[in-house]
Amino acid sequence: MTIFAGVFRHDRQPIDESWRGALISALSRHPEDMPQVIDRPGLLLAKIDIGAFGEPAFLDEGNAAVAAGEPLVSGPPAAPRQQDLETLLKAHIKGDAAPFLEARGTYAAALYDLNAHRLCLSNDRLGVRTLYWAQVGGCLVFATALRIFDALPFVPKRVDNGALHEWVTIHYCFENRTPYAGIFMLRGGERVVADSSGTHTVIDWAWDQVPDDKPVTPEAVDELYQLFQEAVDLRARGDRGALALLSGGLDSRMIVTELCRREMDVRTLTLTWPRSLDAVLAEQYAEALGTRHAMSEVPRPMPHDISHYTEKVYKQDAGFRDVPDTRPGLVWAGDGGSVCLGYVNTTPKLVEALRNRQYHEAARIHVERKFMRLRSTLLKREERERFNRYFEDRIAGILSSFAGRDPGRAVQWFMLTTQERYQVTGLYENNDLCRIEYLMPLFDPKLAAAFQRFPLDECVGHKLYDKWMDRFPQVVRAVPWQAYAGHIASPLPLPDADIQWQPLSADYHEQQRRSALARYKSVKDSGASRPPFIRPEVELAALLFTRCGHSKLAYLLDSASAYRAWWSARSDL
């Protein structure tokens, strides 16, 4: 597990000492973390690594490099993490893009060529591992967590209202933006290169350029299974034990099944609420596989990301944590499968609109399905009018920008390049506090690209995924699973339990109400001010209504809290 940040000066002059101190102190909020620091004329690199992967990714020998996560450039068997970093550094120095395209892990890296005074920021082709950057005067500033930028007084924070509305409404920003104008998130398959002449970007990979002309044959499906086995082998690195999250769906099931097929000592964990279908199905499947299984209750909705609850069980449950021959702090997770392999957000209506080049209609359908609605009640009239059709227009523009052979795939490309990676960004914002690192083989770029090679109509609705399942041991179909509406469902009857998509319970609404009040109090106590485009009377009404025991306006109170928090982080007020 790694957190890193840095400053690169184009003119090769020393880094200001106040900048240096602020950056190093912002790296970690954990009192025992000791940063490793690389100083060069015109370069500062600082890193925290607690050793979750068992080996460093830190080079300080004239040329310099740091990495977060695992690049997994070669193999299987996977090369040592340090060797992968050396491979990427040599590729940067030579101007060779091939190793960046070959990397199969989720990673972010900063690579420095001393002689040329040239820095490269890179990450995986899906952009899962976060890396933020900004041009500040004659410097490039970068960090693996946005909270680090919040703590740097020398980086201007000017709110981008459109991106802020995106973040507050759907908890992520489109493309490479953040709520701050001028602070960007590195795209998947993109490199940012800085030298004495300035900063520019290099695009190594584009998902809309993957050919989709491969027929679905038994041999082709065999290849998909082989790629998945390789993805697991690369990440397992010979471990004989594993900790894994297990839900009532298919993605985590496939991973746990593959780990057990290797005769590993697998401990599984389900984080859910009582009587949920996830809890029942995961317990049944763990019993069928023979894993040692634990279930921990989490609030719904969850006020923290999943790593908070995973770490809590990890610390308290020795039966889950203490597995011989496994690296501490590593947990397997099924993120990425539903989108990268199952095409969960691609529907027949969307495909029809996209193939007819009706991009605004496709955007409207997607906005409706994802409940992307501006909190218009909370906004003053001028702001409402300015952003009235914002989400439809933004998404339509993105969908129409893709250049692949089949325009029906545009929503899939949108998901791969924007939404899907944002589902896990919270894991990297707080991994200084939650000391858990996730192994996510379904985010393997080579596996994801292989699933894009087949005609769209053979993939949607988990069709290709279902054929892929046939290559696994028969136990994967022995227990029913949760399926998305319109996708291939389990032929076995589901047990009587609460499905996650059914109408929300009174307990859910009460938890939502309490969480909204707690967040609002925290933000107000911090002194956060109200943005000028917020209607104070609506904010007050939402607060009073929620305080009186009603949850109907809790979402507005949450939005008011988020707007206040981001607006008050501005350094130009």
pLDDT one-digit tens code per residue, 213-233: 999 999 999 999 999 999 999
The β-bridge partners of 2 are 49
Per-residue confidence (pLDDT) for residue 573, from 0 to 100 = 42
Q: Is 484 exposed, middle or buried (0-12, 13-18, 19+ CB in 10 A)?
A: middle
Write the CA distances from 224 to 206, 219, 230, 341, 367, integer angstroms. Answer: 21, 9, 10, 10, 32
Per-residue confidence (pLDDT) for residue 501, from 0 to 100 = 54
Could you give the CA distance from residue 297 to residue 126 in angstroms, rounded to a whole number?
31
Indicate if the pLDDT at residue 503 is higher than 60: no
Quick check: 330 and 264 in contact, CB under 8 A? no
Task: State the pLDDT confidence band at 511, using cuts at 50, 70 and 90.
Answer: confident
Angle at the Cα of 386 (from 543 to 365), degrees rounded to 5? Answer: 85
Contacts of residue 526, Cβ cutoff 8 Å, sequence gap at least 6: 565, 568
Joined together, the tokens standing for residue 454 give 């087949």
Mean pLDDT score, 145-172: 95
Quick check: 101 and 71 in contact, CB under 8 A? no
Per-residue confidence (pLDDT) for residue 304, from 0 to 100 = 85
Pick the closest to residue 105 from 509, 442, 473, 504 (CA basis).
Answer: 442
Quick check: 84 and 59 in contact, CB under 8 A? no
Pick the closest to residue 64 from 6, 132, 146, 149 (CA basis).
Answer: 6
What digits encode the pLDDT tens for the residues 101-117? 999 999 999 999 999 99
Q: pTM for this structure?
A: 0.96
3-state helix, strand, coil in the chain (%, to 5): 45, 20, 40
Interhelix angle for 390-401 vs 161-170, to 10°?
A: 100
Element (H, E) at 312: helix 306-316
Joined together, the tokens standing for residue 130 give 């976060």
Per DSSP, 470 falls in state: T
Pick the closest to residue 336 from 239, 448, 237 (CA basis).
Answer: 448
Could you give the CA distance from residue 314 to residue 311 in angstroms, rounded to a whole number?
5
Task: State the pLDDT confidence band at 572, using cuts at 50, 70 and 90.
Answer: low
* Token pair 């690049």 in the structure block, residue: 71
Single-letter amino acid code for the residue at 263: E
* pLDDT mean across residues, the chain: 94
The β-bridge partners of 112 are 64, 119
Per-residue confidence (pLDDT) for residue 93, from 0 to 100 = 98
Quick check: 105 and 77 in contact, CB under 8 A? no
What digits encode the pLDDT tens for the residues 163-197? 999 999 998 999 999 999 999 999 999 999 999 99
Higher-confidence residue of 266 and 422: namely 266
What digits encode the pLDDT tens for the residues 374-393? 999 999 999 999 999 999 99
Per DSSP, 498 falls in state: B
Parallel, antiparallel, or unpaired for β 132-136 and 183-185? antiparallel
The β-bridge partners of 483 are none
Per-residue confidence (pLDDT) for residue 500, from 0 to 100 = 62
Per-residue confidence (pLDDT) for residue 115, from 0 to 100 = 97
- Mean pLDDT lowest among 161-165, 207-211, 568-572: 568-572
Percentage of residues in the chain having pLDDT higher than 70: 98
Joined together, the tokens standing for residue 200 give 């520019």
505 HSE (CA, 13 A, CB side) = 14
Per-residue confidence (pLDDT) for residue 159, from 0 to 100 = 95
Quick check: 174 and 398 in contact, CB under 8 A? yes
Higher-confidence residue of 38 and 424: namely 38
What digits encode the pLDDT tens for the residues 283-330? 999 999 999 999 999 987 788 889 999 999 999 999 999 999 899 999
Could you give the CA distance from residue 300 to residue 171 in angstroms, rounded to a whole number?
17
CB atoms within 10 A of CB 536: 10
Per-residue confidence (pLDDT) for residue 504, from 0 to 100 = 61
Per-residue confidence (pLDDT) for residue 489, from 0 to 100 = 94
